[in-house]
Amino acid sequence: MKKLVIATRRSRLALWQAEYIKRQLEEIHSLQVILNPMSTRGDELVDRRLDEAGGKGLFVKELENAMTDGRADLAVHSMKDVPAELPPGFILAAITRREDPRDALVSNKYDRFAAIPAGGVIGTSSLRRAAQLAERHPQLEVRLLRGNVETRLAKLDRDEYDAIVLAVAGLARLGLEQRIRARLEVEASLPAPGQGALGIECLAQRTDLVELLKPLRDAASEICVRAERAVSRALGGSCALPLAAYAELAGERLRLRALVASADGRRVARADCVGTASEPEALAQEAVAALRRQGADRILAK
């Protein structure tokens, strides 16, 4: 194999992520790697909530089509944007070392939510973030904010919002860490499954690529993301769910925290479980059972 083609979205962050993987592959294997940027439905539908427009799959379908018809060999994704269930015939061949998984408060005026006056407007496209904000700060108004990172920051700078919430990892990768006013601890804003990690998807039949990508895999990140995604998968795996899951590895012990909430933040179920790192999916099932004992299914049904 002398040449690889990576399918990627066109946003600056997606291109950064694809370039990052490109550089590693070229250094490790001394081969030519080409990017194939493309627009996805998820990028184009910026005036509606993602759960109303069709879900996370809108960000990856075109990339998967490119792999199916031979225009690309693999695709690079932010793992929080990848549906819990991949289409038949596709696999996640590698999950790379995770960046900071936390959410960030970004504001030109305030360095904490408690300082924002009642009625202040917070921007986010995430039901997960919105529900946790509503639970902790019911005096604030949460409004839809879609678009790439630069678009969201521009709307903040035009005073359309008092503050917005973005992923720390995305801002760091774009060299925009100076925009972060506060990194939100996971207790205050539990991350999305896979947040901060990059995943490389390819056709399951491409065993040559699976072998090629092995040096890019990070075992610790993979274990944590597997546990988090198993929670999402067990509860429906949709971005229409205000659902969070975050795992931390310490030696052979794995801690998994998970959360399900009503959209208004008035009903919240939480789980905090510890198990062995060798069985991340089993730990996820334990967390899901704990959430269901607290009424998670009833919360999600509404």
Query: Residues 167-194: pLDDT tens digits?
Result: 999 999 999 999 999 999 999 999 999 9
pLDDT of residue 41: 60
89 in the same domain as 7: yes
pLDDT of residue 54: 46
Q: How many DSSP H helices and E strands does the chain contain?
A: 11, 13
178 in the same domain as 63: no
204 in the same domain as 72: yes
Task: Report yes or no on 226 lying in a domain.
Answer: no
Q: Are 77 and 198 in contact (CB under 8 A)?
A: yes
Task: Report yes or no on 223 lying in a domain.
Answer: no
Determine the residue type at 302. K
Catalytic residue among 81, 100, 103, 208: 81
141 in the same domain as 88: no
Q: Are 228 and 247 in contact (CB under 8 A)?
A: yes
Task: Report yes or no on 13 lying in a domain.
Answer: yes
89 in the same domain as 208: yes
211 in the same domain as 140: no
Task: Report yes or no on 189 lying in a domain.
Answer: no
Determine the residue type at 291. L
211 in the same domain as 166: no
pLDDT of residue 53: 46
Q: Looking at the 3D structure of the chain, how many domains does it have?
A: 3
Q: Provide the CATH number for the domain around residue 268.
A: 3.30.160.40
Task: Report yes or no on 224 lying in a domain.
Answer: no
* Partners of 2 in the β-ladder: none
Rounded to an integer, what distance in angstroms lies between the CA atom of residue 142 and that of residue 124? 7
Q: Provide the CATH number for the domain around residue 130.
A: 3.40.190.10
Task: Report yes or no on 227 lying in a domain.
Answer: no
50 in the same domain as 67: yes
Instruction: Give yes or no: 51 in active site.
Output: no
- Please tell me what DSSP assigns to residue 86: P
262 in the same domain as 213: no
Task: Report yes or no on 256 lying in a domain.
Answer: yes
**Which structural domain, as residue segments, surrounds residue 238?**
232-301
168: exposed, middle or buried (C-beta count within 10 Å: 0-12, 13-18, 19+)?
A: buried
Q: At what angle do helices 149-157 and 12-29 cross, to 10 degrees?
A: 140
Task: Report yes or no on 284 lying in a domain.
Answer: yes
* Residue numbers in the chain where pLDDT is lower than 70: 1, 41-58, 237-240
146 in the same domain as 30: no
